[in-house]
Amino acid sequence: MRRENDDTPREPGDDGTTPPAVEDDVAGKADRNHLRELQRQRQGRVVRVIIALAILGVLIVFIVSNSQEVDVDFVFFTRRPALIWVMFTCAILGGVVGYLIGRPGKQIRLHRSRKEDERK
């Protein structure tokens, strides 16, 4: 039996709590895992940026090397713009269409209860 003013040292965890050293180790491990995950995400972003810049560089070189004028037949008229502008316009329109098709939309929910949503 222990009295309130009894100053005898006790073992960590005698009162049913987790010892501070174990709590620090668990928190440190969680922090290290979180930092590793952030580093992986950062590396993934860097790789995507490098790939995007490479594609952009190839596109720019390709457009600049094809600067001659060409006949472009629109529906009601024909023009002779530089091939640079035709390719640039096609690249922009392709990017817009790709964004519109690939962007995430609103998901349709199929008869799921709130309890199932909370579990996930």
Per-residue pLDDT at 95 exceeds 80: yes
- In the three-class reduction of DSSP (H, G, I as helix; E, B as strand; rest coil), residue 53 is classed as helix
| End-to-end Cα spacing for the chain | 47
Q: Helix crossing, 20-65 with 83-102: angle to 10°?
A: 150
pLDDT for res 65: 85
The pLDDT value given to residue 28: 80
Mean pLDDT value of segment 65-71: 87
Contact 68, 83 (CB under 8 A): yes
Q: Is the pLDDT of residue 3 over 70?
A: no
Per-residue pLDDT reduced to its tens digit, 47-62: 999 999 999 999 888 8
What is the SS3 assignment for 78-119?
EECCEHHHHHHHHHHHHHHHHHHHHCCCCCCCCCCCHHHHHH
| Res 9 pLDDT > 60 | no
